[in-house]
Structures are given as structure tokens and as C-alpha cells.
A = this chain, B = another copy of it.
């Protein structure tokens, strides 16, 4: 599968030299604070689908190119145009159907990150607004720099967010009072607050330090058995959404195939021999 090159217009993709199986993705539309326009969503979906099925990839870091922003969110002008294009259709119900399908497609581009079978770490700095929050709730681990500026921005443009943040934020942060407050007010919040409420799990002094640390974490995960790692991502996401007894059952069925892997004896043996095991791709 690795034959197809990672060639994208708005995303740089680096296989990290020193960290086997780790991929560093950069959102790259620097001149515009990495603001998202429609072709970027579809590229992002295609990219994460490719990463998901590329067996040489085991862990992914996503960050924003340049000094100023992870992403400043959706490009306002583009967004306005989408809204106005719908005015062409005279019938409200037909416009509604058009919009519904449009939102589903957009949601699906972000869900591609959640569906990606490999863990994804978002490393966020500077402007991390609107779409940045939608995107980052779909990854697995969130870290940031101390100068980050977060905002759940959608109410400020007259709409309830509809591409993921309202659906995932209550499940990634266990402080519903805070979730409501920032979602209803669109106010800015910073790194310290994000750490305190559990939106990020680490804060770093600078972008370079953050990227280095995120890559190291990715590298650590990439050393583990991919059977173990990909199963862990899937089972945590599934369990978040299901009653405990049902999640236990799904887990047992999942592992009925997965624990037949040779990785377990490889890992146990390496443990006894105090060396790092190697595992086949998955």
C-alpha cells in the first residue's frame, strides 16, 4: 500500500527519520493562518484514509505550519459563499436537504481522523480557533504550547457548531459546566485553563519543544505492538459510547482474534530479555 506517495497540496507529510513508523502531518496554508477552505477538508479525509491503511504508519502527529497558528479555523469568505450558494434553490425543504448532505460530508472529513486506525496526536499552538477545536476533539491526544489561543468560535458566526465539537467535547472533557460556558460564549481560553479542565493533557514552553515531545510520545507508541495499539484506540472509542457490559462483550469478541497474535510472546520474551521487541506491520 505504501507505493502511493503522500503528495498533498495543503498538508506536508514527513516520515520522521529517527522515529520509525512515526508520521508528522503539518497543516500548510501558512499565509492564511492555516485557515481551512473546502478542498482542504477533502484532502484531509483522503490523507487520513491513506495513513489508516498504510501499514508502515503506526503513530501520527498533526500540527500547524508556521509560527502563528495551528489553524485559525474555517476561512470566513469561503464559508459565506457556501451559505449564499444555497439561496439559489427556492424551496426551503430542498435547501435543507442540500445543507444536511453538505454537513454530513463535512463531518465525515473530520471523522476520518477518528476512524484512522492509528493514534493521532494534535500539537496545537497560536491561533487554534473554531475548526481547530472540531478537528482536535477527533484526535486521540491533545497537547499545546503555553501561548495557544483556543475558542469554540461557531456561535460568533450565528450558528451552532455542526461538524463535531458539540458532539465530542462533552465526551473528551469531564466538566460540563465549562464545556457549556466556552461553547455558548465563544470566549478565548488558554493553555493553563485547557490543562486544568482536561482539554489537553500537556502544555509546553514553545512550539519546537511541543513538537519534539509529541513526536517522542508518538515514537514511544510506535514501538509497541500495532495489534495492541490499534485495538486500544478502537476499544476506548467504542467504550466511550456504550454501556459497560456491552463494551466488555465487544472487547472479548475483538480480542478473540487479536490475542492470537505472535506479538504477545514476542513482547513477553523481550520483556524477560530486557530488549525492545520488533513487531510486523499491521
Q: Write the residues of chain A forming the contact surface with B, with a CB cutoff of 8 angstroms.
A: 53, 76, 79-80, 83-84, 86, 90-97, 99-101, 103-104, 107, 111, 114, 119, 140-143, 154-162, 164, 166-181, 183-187, 197-201, 217, 220-221, 224-225, 227-236, 239-245, 247-268, 271-272, 277, 279-280, 282
Shortest beta-carbon contacts, A-B, top 8: A174-B174, A160-B231, A96-B257, A175-B198, A93-B261, A158-B267, A92-B260, A257-B257
From B119, B174, B178, B268, A158 is in contact (CB under 8 Å) with: B268
Q: Using CB atoms, name the residue of chain B closest to A105.
A: B252
Supposing A184-B140, A224-B186 touch, asked if A244 and B93 sit within 8 A by C-beta, the answer is no
From B180, B229, B232, A141 is in contact (CB under 8 Å) with: B180
Contact A229 B280 (CB under 8 A): no
Residues of B within 8 A of A99 (CB): 255-256, 259-260
Contact B248 A250 (CB under 8 A): no
Q: Complex: how many Å from CA A104 to CA B117? A: 14
Residues of B within 8 A of A174 (CB): 173-175, 198
Q: Using CB atoms, name the residue of chain B closest to A262.
A: B91
Contact B97 A230 (CB under 8 A): yes
Task: Name 10 A/B residue pairs within 8 A (Cβ), A-sorted.
Answer: A83-B259, A97-B256, A104-B249, A114-B244, A141-B184, A154-B228, A159-B264, A160-B229, A180-B236, A245-B245
